[in-house]
Amino acid sequence: MISLVGLQACLATCVTVISVSPPPTAALRLTVALVSVCAFALVLLVTSPPAHAADYWTVMVRATDERGQYMPVRNGDAGFGYTKACQKHNFCNLNLIQATIEGRGDTSDEGGGRFKYTGHVVGDEVGDVTLIVIGDLNPQTARGATPDGGPAGVITAYCAGAPRCPDPINA
């Protein structure tokens, strides 16, 4: 992945070449070529994930439910894990996801290794919000087996009765 420093160096080279100015046609061809390379580098920079982006399988939180079952919160993607919960449902608070799993509240066995954890948040800014976390104990997923052999973990998390959780739960 190209870095911001690399892009800056590329643009600086373009400016330097324009300043040096060999004969007009050669300079124009060289400038167009360099600008094209810089534009391509900018597209790569904008569309590439940051170098520090967590891997799909990275465990972000190690939670254990009331039965003693390990239920990791993995980074995932738009269809799985923390990324799905945050992007699709606006449930980005890892502490609340962990508390919902670890709380001594309502846990139901949904069958096939899936569990539904239910918690509640009550406050002036959010009202009474029911939190739902869906987890899977199976290490086998649509993407294959988890590399650490542990459970797939949290599939998603959301606020019941709402397409997206209220912003204050992420504070």
Pairing state of beta strands 70-74 and 106-111?
unpaired
Rg, the chain, Cα only:
24
pTM of the prediction? 0.68
User: Residue 40 contacts by C-beta under 8 Å, 6 or more apart in sequence?
Assistant: none
Span of 9-23, 89-103, 128-142 with lowest mean pLDDT:
9-23
Query: Could you tell me the residue ranges of all domains in the chain?
Result: 4-47, 59-170
User: Residue 111 contacts by C-beta under 8 Å, 6 or more apart in sequence?
Assistant: none
pLDDT band at 170; cut points 50, 70, 90: very high
Q: Which residue has the higher pLDDT, 58 or 1?
A: 58
pLDDT in tens, 136-156: 999 998 888 999 999 999 999
pLDDT band at 24; cut points 50, 70, 90: low
